[in-house]
């Protein structure tokens, strides 16, 4: 089924530079599920894949789903298969797209942004094997209706939506291209609604549109659906407005990306793309767009957004249509952003503003969608002033990220929200350790009841002095018990940190002695010693340490 015309050496040496080669790599790794039974693209396809996010499955069991028998409610069959989850259903799937282990993804982004490799132009690109334009775009069942575009949130969405897009636009003054992942609503066989966020920190394409509006010229736009994952991954990544994503993708690929000129607009697109929709966006007239289920977890209601007249649809001879599952997080949309944004935050804090003791950045994913809530991990003993510089740095790095930033110590796993609450409960004093900072833009969220002038909450929940050990059996005892657990054939465990006790700095040598005697059955010896140390004139719960010092 999978056509692989552009298959390159990439699979063995680096990331796949052809989307279908990437699908083959996922299938070889056991990460792709083929569904050959008929599936209704409008009512069944996204809800089926949704279950792997809402069904309590561990992240590493999520898969890409390839639907080879796609139909719609009218019984229409589509030639093109549809794939969902193939870009970022899990970090592992994303890492196959990058051709790198998960641990190396952060450094790869930082390096690619610093050292882009410009693309190379080719002619007769595979993405233009088939060209549909002119009257063919207007046929009742032609144009965009030829594409098996699924409905993401049936019951709420107003139409099928393009989700796995790279919307290519060009700055009409500098000539520099931008590629962003923006949703596209089917409006007619030859028209789309496109939403480019106008908020501060929003879409790069919107800045180009503002210039076209001033110049009163339609904005050329090419929407790429499906291409090398390293190219797609630049769409949701936040780069400087004048940095061409194609060069960054080349650096991720380790070689120039092959590009080709569009058929009807003056834009360059990846030559090995599956499908490209070319068109012109009206510089003045906006059209109602939505409702559409959004990644902040609510349905975005109808807004006036851009209206794109399609001038051509081009595709490979046997393309695969790719869709991203977004809406309530975790979803493919949050994984694709989390993996890209976390290393950028870390590089900013550690390398650009030199925060001492910063050990990690974790963007909170479930429901909140990676932008508003950020956890920072600090080394034990990091200076408090550095913790606060880090809190402010993370909160201000991106206009739309970091409404709530919480600093924790290194022993806390920030992905375990229970551990974070535990840390806030015992290691922070709200009057000293919580600051509310006014005047931040409200970012990405439902419009209902929001003020444009929001605020941030910064919390220092790090350890500020030595603490007693964590109250679980020591590691060696838990490990020994785990072996017995397995020997007994008890139900499979999924250990959640913390799962063993550890030191946090407050302890005395004699307590080691007591503990060693206790597990050796010698606790009466300790009892004899403490009997000899009995004292009067104290109230119960007087710490031995302070009483003995007196």
Ligand X SMILES: Cc1cc2nc3c(=O)[nH]c(=O)nc-3n(C[C@H](O)[C@H](O)[C@H](O)COP(=O)(O)O)c2cc1C
List residues near ligand X by CB under 6 A.
163, 178, 180-183, 195-197, 202-205, 235-236, 238, 324, 326, 333, 336-337
**Least Å from the CB of residue 136 to ligand X:** 27
Nearest to ligand X of 401, 420 (CB atom): 401
Q: Residue 409: exposed, middle, or buried by beta-carbon count in 10 A (0-12, 13-18, 19+)? A: buried
Nearest to ligand X of 88, 320 (CB atom): 88
**Least Å from the CB of residue 52 to ligand X:** 16
Nearest to ligand X of 323, 423 (CB atom): 323
Q: Do 511 and 503 touch, CB atoms closer than 8 A? A: no
| Residues 6 or more apart in contact with residue 187 via CB below 8 angstroms | 159, 193, 287, 307
**Least Å from the CB of residue 288 to ligand X:** 15
**Least Å from the CB of residue 85 to ligand X:** 12
Q: Residue 60: exposed, middle, or buried by beta-carbon count in 10 A (0-12, 13-18, 19+)? A: exposed
Distance of CA 438 to the CA centre of its chain: 27
Question: Can you tell me whether residue 490 is helix, strand or coil?
Answer: coil
Q: Do 168 and 349 touch, CB atoms closer than 8 A? A: no
Nearest to ligand X of 205, 357 (CB atom): 205
- Is the peptide bond preceding residue 498 cis, with omega within 30 degrees of 0? yes
DSSP-assigned letter for residue 151:
P
Nearest to ligand X of 189, 323 (CB atom): 323
Nearest to ligand X of 187, 195 (CB atom): 195
**Least Å from the CB of residue 240 to ligand X:** 9
Nearest to ligand X of 192, 203 (CB atom): 203
Distance of CA 550 to the CA centre of its chain: 56
**Least Å from the CB of residue 81 to ligand X:** 20
| Residues 6 or more apart in contact with residue 112 via CB below 8 angstroms | 248, 249, 251, 252
**Least Å from the CB of residue 237 to ligand X:** 6
Pairing outcome for strands 303-315 and 191-194: antiparallel
**Least Å from the CB of residue 515 to ligand X:** 51
- Give the Å distances, CA to CA, from 326 to 32, 163, 334: 18, 8, 7
- Give the Å distances, CA to CA, from 383 to 387, 391, 422, 463: 6, 13, 21, 11
**Least Å from the CB of residue 335 to ligand X:** 9
Which is nearest to 230 in space by CA: 87, 103, 90, 334?
87
Nearest to ligand X of 234, 395 (CB atom): 234
- Give the Å distances, CA to CA, from 508 to 192, 466, 467, 505, 524: 70, 12, 12, 9, 19
**Least Å from the CB of residue 294 to ligand X:** 8
Q: Do 473 and 500 touch, CB atoms closer than 8 A? A: yes
Q: Residue 352: exposed, middle, or buried by beta-carbon count in 10 A (0-12, 13-18, 19+)? A: exposed
Nearest to ligand X of 199, 389 (CB atom): 199
Nearest to ligand X of 170, 377 (CB atom): 170
Nearest to ligand X of 150, 236 (CB atom): 236
**Least Å from the CB of residue 394 to ligand X:** 18
Neighbouring C-beta atoms of residue 449, cutoff 10 Å: 5
Q: Do 218 and 281 touch, CB atoms closer than 8 A? A: yes
Per-residue b/e over 520-546, b at no fewer than 16 CB within 10 Å? eeeeeebeeeeeeeeeeeeeeeeeeee
């Amino acid at each position: 089924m999978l056509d692989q015309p552009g298959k390159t050496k990439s699979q063995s040496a680096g990331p796949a530079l052809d989307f279908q080669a990437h699908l083959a790599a996922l299938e070889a790794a056991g990460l792709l599920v083929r569904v050959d039974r008929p599936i209704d693209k409008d009512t069944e396809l996204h809800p089926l894949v949704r279950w792997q996010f809402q069904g309590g499955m561990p992240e590493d069991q999520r898969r890409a789903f390839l639907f080879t028998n796609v139909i719609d409610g009218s019984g229409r069959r589509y030639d093109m298969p549809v794939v969902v989850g193939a870009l970022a259903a899990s970090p592992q799937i994303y890492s196959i797209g990058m051709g790198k282990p998960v641990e190396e993804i952060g450094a790869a982004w930082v390096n690619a942004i610093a050292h882009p490799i410009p693309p190379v132009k080719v002619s007769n690109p595979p993405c233009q094997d088939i060209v549909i334009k002119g009257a063919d775009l207007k046929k009742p069942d032609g144009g965009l209706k030829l594409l098996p575009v699924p409905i993401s949130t049936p019951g709420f969405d107003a139409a099928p939506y393009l989700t796995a897009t790279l919307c290519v636009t060009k700055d009409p003054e500098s000539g520099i291209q931008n590629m962003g992942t923006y949703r596209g609503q089917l409006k007619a066989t030859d028209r789309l609604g496109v939403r480019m966020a106008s908020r501060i920190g929003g879409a790069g394409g919107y800045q180009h549109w503002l210039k076209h509006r001033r110049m009163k010229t339609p904005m050329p736009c090419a929407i790429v659906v499906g291409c090398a994952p390293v190219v797609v991954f630049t769409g949701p990544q936040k780069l400087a407005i004048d940095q061409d994503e194609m060069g960054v993708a080349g650096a991720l690929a380790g070689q120039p990306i092959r590009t080709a000129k569009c058929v009807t607009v003056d834009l360059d697109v990846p030559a090995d793309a599956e499908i490209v929709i070319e068109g012109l966006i009206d510089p003045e007239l906006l059209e109602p767009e939505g409702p559409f289920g959004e990644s902040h977890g609510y349905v975005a209601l109808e807004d006036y957004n851009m209206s794109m007249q399609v001038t051509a649809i081009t595709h490979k001879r046997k393309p695969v249509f790719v869709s991203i599952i977004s809406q309530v997080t975790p979803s493919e949309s949050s994984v694709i952003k989390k993996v890209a944004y976390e290393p950028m935050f870390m590089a900013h804090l550690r390398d650009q503003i030199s925060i001492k003791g910063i050990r990690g950045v974790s963007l909170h994913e479930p429901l909140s969608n990676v932008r508003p809530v950020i956890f920072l991990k600090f080394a034990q003993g990091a200076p408090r002033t550095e913790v606060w510089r880090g809190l402010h740095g993370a909160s201000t790095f991106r206009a739309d990220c970091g409404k709530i930033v919480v600093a924790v110590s290194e022993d806390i796993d920030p992905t375990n929200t229970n551990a974070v609450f535990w840390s806030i409960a015992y290691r922070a004093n709200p009057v000293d350790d919580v600051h509310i900072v006014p005047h931040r833009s409200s970012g990405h969220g439902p419009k209902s009841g929001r003020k444009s002038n929001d605020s941030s909450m910064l919390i220092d929940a790090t350890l500020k002095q030595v603490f007693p050990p964590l109250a679980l059996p020591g590691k060696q005892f838990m490990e020994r018990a785990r072996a017995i657990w397995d020997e007994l054939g008890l139900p499979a465990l999924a250990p959640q940190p913390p799962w063993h006790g550890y030191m946090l700095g407050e302890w005395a040598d004699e307590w080691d002695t007591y503990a060693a005697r206790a597990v050796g059955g010698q606790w009466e010896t300790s009892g004899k010693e403490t009997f000899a140390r009995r004292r009067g004139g104290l109230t119960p719960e007087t710490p031995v340490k302070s009483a003995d010092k007196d």
